[in-house]
Structure 1
Amino acid sequence: MTVFLHAIAGVLTLLLMGLAGYFMAYKQWITPDNKSLLPKLVNYISLPLFFIYNLTTTFSKDKLLHLISGAAIPFIAMIICFLISFLLVRLLDIRQNHRGTFCSSFTNSNSIFVGIPVTVALFGQDAVPYALLFFFANTTLFWSLGNALIQSDANKKSCWRDYLTLATLRKIFSPPICGFLLAILFILLNIKLPAFIMDTAKYLGNMTTPVALIFIGATLYSMNFRKISFNRDLNGVLFGRFIIAPLITFIVASFFPIPTLMLKDFIIMASLPAMIQTVLLSSLYKADVEYATTIVSLTTVASIITIPIYMLLFSFM
């Protein structure tokens, strides 16, 4: 019961920060014209610095090398989830212009905007390195295979493999990934940054959680949930996000000797909402933006229920 109450408290903390964003959108302090500043602030400034500060202050070279072996778990689990999603696309007869978005949302979770805040709220700073490993695998696969799949939704005559180009693969190296890799390099080369740089990284990095959740709250305010239709295109994604992905992660992790905290965080990370970037890519490639937006919004709301459930299940592990 203590674990469950802790989960509820953690989720309520996240919810209140999200409600702050919802209220700001309601008051028109955050509008469609200025809302894009928030993800840019997280993506280009706070999150890369968050990674640099937390990794370099948490790990030694030996500890890092020992930890990195665990990165194989999310990679393997997500590849299996992609394969399952390809199969379900056929079995459920998912609409042609939804298939790429379906597969990507089925597999990839919101490890940036939701994953880090949830990890800190539920498990504390000790679990952040595990969240970063999951983030690395998740982001790599989303910006390569996931990106190509979403792009293929806009052209019925082409295959997703046609979009796995060098230009697409370059998008893997987003600012957060570069911040992550730079931090790894500093640790491996035993480079110590000056105190004033580390302090700057600490203060700006600490903005990540509240700014990300304010953005999510503002996004939810703009959604019309009355238009949501629970068909197989949507239900299949919900099934993948909250049941199949965490289950596959648990099965894969059982073959590796990893700490219990890493296992729990990987499962939570696998059960998070679909990536917000799915909507951005759908808009960019002229795919079905309404379908992508519905997935992101509904899975975000549903996670308020599913996260405490998983935390309760952890009490029996």
Structure 2
Amino acid sequence: MIIFNALGSVFSIVLMISAGFFLSHKGWFDEKTSQLFSKLVCNLAIPCLMISQFTENFDKDKLLNLGGGLFAPFTSMALGYFVAVIISKIIRVKEGRIGTFRSMFFVSNSIFIGLPVNMALFGEQSMPSVLLYYIANTTFFWTIGVYEISKDGQSGKANIISLETIKRIMSPPLISFMFAVILVLFDIHFPKFILDTCKYFGNLTTPLAMLFIGITIYSVNLKEFKFSLDMIAIILGRFFISPVLILILCNLIKTPLLMKEVFVIQAAMPVMTNTAIVSKRYNADYEYATISTIITTILSLLAIPIYMLILG
């Protein structure tokens, strides 16, 4: 029964993505629509979801008990980065792609795709674990990940520790998470109409994100795509090495079941969408990053049910 419920959640995700694909084919959605959906999810829906869910479902004691869950994501990503460095040298990734390859290998799309997927699979109770993984993921991406990508481009290298880095880490989802934590810790309550508004906007997170993926998949011409050795390595990093690393760590430190399941699904998410944006910013190979993001997004539809079966 658990397996059928999990597969049912996956089918629900596939149907929403298929709707985005079909409506793109019909001409309803285009590139501008996908950019709009991306902004709405990251800057409105997810922040509202954080505030509504945390203030409704958490108290001070529950929040203080969450801190220990940061060890597994931070440790697994650090190990994933070192594995990425080793593999990039073994397979001799093309010059100008090395840093981008490493970033894509060990960092996942943990909030834009990861949050709605976990909400669909495990329900609202998965959000705290999703956010713990997100904190580690966004920290690694905007420090080591961006620094590695910047080495591929012709412009100056990014500083791992800088004011710009801090600004990028402090994204709307993370700021809203911190704000929600403050509200809970200091027992601050908003009027019901404000929380209801946040809840309505928060409920847009999953459908908008899934429609975005459908639009993205429709936009790529897979006939022009050819698998290369480094692309295969990225796929292995995203859907095998990263999930296995965190699964082993969670079993070693006896992480609670739901948290372990969420961490594994988060680690098996596709390449982070911001990778292509940052690659373009530093004059790196952003087309390589873009096609890797799209291919891993498509393949995640196969990886998610496989891991749900394993975890189930």
TM-score, length-normalised on structure 1? 0.93
Aligned residue in 2 for 1:191: 188
1:168 positional shift: 2.4
1:12 positional shift: 1.3
1:164 positional shift: 4.6
Q: Is the 8 A contact 2:150 2:158 kept in 1?
A: no
The Cα offsets for residues 208-242 of structure 1, whole Å up to 9 and x where unpaired, read as 11111111111111101112221111011011001
1:96 positional shift: 1.8
1:257 positional shift: 3.5
Aligned residue in 2 for 1:81: 80
Distance (whole Å) between structure 1 residues aligned to residue 80 and residue 167 of structure 2: 23
Aligned residue in 2 for 1:147: 146
1:121 to 2:111 alignment: no
Q: Is the 8 A contact 1:145 1:164 kept in 2?
A: no
1:7 positional shift: 2.6
Aligned residue in 2 for 1:218: 215
Q: Is the 8 A contact 1:268 1:310 kept in 2?
A: yes
Aligned residue in 1 for 2:267: 270
1:85 positional shift: 0.6
Aligned residue in 1 for 2:38: 39
1:283 positional shift: 2.5
Q: Structure 1 residue aligned with 2:253, among 252, 256, 260?
A: 256
Equivalent position amino acid for 1:152 in 2:
K
The Cα offsets for residues 277-315 of structure 1, whole Å up to 9 and x where unpaired, read as 112222232221221112111111111111111111113
The Cα offsets for residues 44-68 of structure 1, whole Å up to 9 and x where unpaired, read as 1111111111122111111111112
Equivalent position amino acid for 1:303 in 2:
S
1:131 positional shift: 1.0
Structure 2, unaligned stretches of length 5 or more? none
1:279 to 2:271 alignment: no
Distance (whole Å) between structure 2 residues aligned to residue 187 and residue 230 of structure 1: 48
Distance (whole Å) between structure 2 residues aligned to residue 202 and residue 73 of structure 1: 30
Q: Is the 8 A contact 1:3 1:311 kept in 2?
A: no
The 3-state SS of whatever aligns with 1:190 is coil
Distance (whole Å) between structure 2 residues aligned to residue 162 and residue 46 of structure 1: 31
Distance (whole Å) between structure 2 residues aligned to residue 50 and residue 273 of structure 1: 22
| Percentage identity across paired residues of the two chains | 38
Equivalent position amino acid for 1:50 in 2:
L
Q: Is the 8 A contact 1:153 1:287 kept in 2?
A: yes
Q: Is the 8 A contact 1:49 1:202 kept in 2?
A: yes
1:237 to 2:234 alignment: yes
Distance (whole Å) between structure 1 residues aligned to residue 254 and residue 158 of structure 2: 35
The 3-state SS of whatever aligns with 1:113 is coil
User: What root-mean-square deviation, in Å, do the aligned CA atoms of Structure 1 and Structure 2 show?
Assistant: 1.7
Q: Is the 8 A contact 1:98 1:233 kept in 2?
A: no
TM-score, length-normalised on structure 2? 0.95
Alignment: residue pair count: 312
